[in-house]
Amino acid sequence: MSLPPLAPYPALRLRRLRQADWIRSLVRETVLTPADLIWSMVVHEGEGEIPVASMPGVSRLSVKGAVAAAVEARKLGIPAIAIFPHIDGARKDARGSHAADPDGLIPRAVKAMKDAAPEVGIMCDVALDPFTDHGHDGLIENGRILNDPTIEALVTQALVQAEAGCDILAPSDMMDGRVGALRTALEGAGLQDVMIMSYAAKFASAFYGPYRDAIGSGKLGSGPIENPGDKKTYQMDSANTEEALREVALDIAEGADMVMVKPGMPYLDIVQRVSETFRMPTFAFQVSGEYAMIKAATGNGWLDENRAILESLGAFKRAGAAGTITYFAPVAARLLGA
């Protein structure tokens, strides 16, 4: 889109609209609010909080702590929480079987959080990697990640989460066809009101490391899979844009209510293209590595922390994101409410 003719200087002085805070506020194009945030958090089986070394300020929360966080989110005006599990190693196996346990950590946390703060939406990760002993998102056979058998396991996991009261299922596994399978299963189970926010364009990224620390998957296990240290056979190549649009289009066609781009800031161009192309709710995930970089820089005095947090989150909204999943949500909400 071309700009209309502009008056020449000095008739046009763009700095006139920047001279005071009140006028900057009046003409501001993008306004960030707590309602633009989804609070990303990790829960664990035990008691108390366990700090995550690679993510200063973030701790694994007990179920009781997650309940308190849900109540806090309601007070802060944060509309939703995305929860991820840290599973004890003794409960992990090659098939991620514990993901299907209706009495497992995530179902118990969801029920408790919804009981305490029913107004706060709860989003659950649909993926096997927190539950597998090899750390991959899918089932493995002869060195390959199996697509369709993995989907069967994901459907079982998702129904357990939905029946516990989860509001949004967020499949992050990147198996082909999983959104359609989830939507069909939800309809068949009478759970048609449960929403799906698909990790539609999830890239094989270097920025997930601290998250793997937080959920206890660490380095990907050697197992029987070729190239065990990465997920490049199922997560997207960071070089690709057109493929991202195809992934999003497929997930929308299969029944996704919302789509997500992950990671966030390194992929703002993807966020903008997805938002402009499909005109449906598009979310970004400010992932653990992005959080850790900001905390490291601010911890060393290289950046102003509060400004860096709000500027980074504002970038997602400016790019077209309907909201952002972030570990900074409670801090940002307090800053925005000040």
Number of neighbouring beta carbons within 10 Å of residue 202: 27
The residue type at 130: P
Number of neighbouring beta carbons within 10 Å of residue 170: 27
Q: Residue 236's beta-bridge partner residues?
A: 203
Selecting among 92, 114, 262, 295, the annotated active-site residue is 262
Cβ atoms of 36 and 324 within 8 Å: the answer is yes
> Rounded to an integer, what distance in angstroms lies between the CA atom of residue 131 and that of residue 136?
9
Q: Phi first, then psi: give them for residue 54, nearest 5 degrees.
A: -85, 0
**Three-state DSSP class for residue 241:** coil
Instruction: Annotate 19-78 with three-state secondary structure.
Output: CCHHHHHHHCCCCCCHHHEEEEEEEECCCCCEECCCCCCCEEECHHHHHHHHHHHHHHCC
> Rounded to an integer, what distance in angstroms lies between the CA atom of residue 158 and that of residue 34?
28
Could you report how far apart the first and last alpha carbons of the chain are, in Å? 37
The residue type at 24: R
Half-sphere exposure of 182 (CA within 13 A, CB side): 38
Q: Look up 262 and say whether it is catalytic.
A: yes
Selecting among 202, 231, 295, 317, the annotated active-site residue is 202
> Rounded to an integer, what distance in angstroms lies between the CA atom of residue 40 and that of residue 329?
8
Q: Look up 75 and say whether it is catalytic.
A: no
Active-site residue numbers?
A: 202, 262
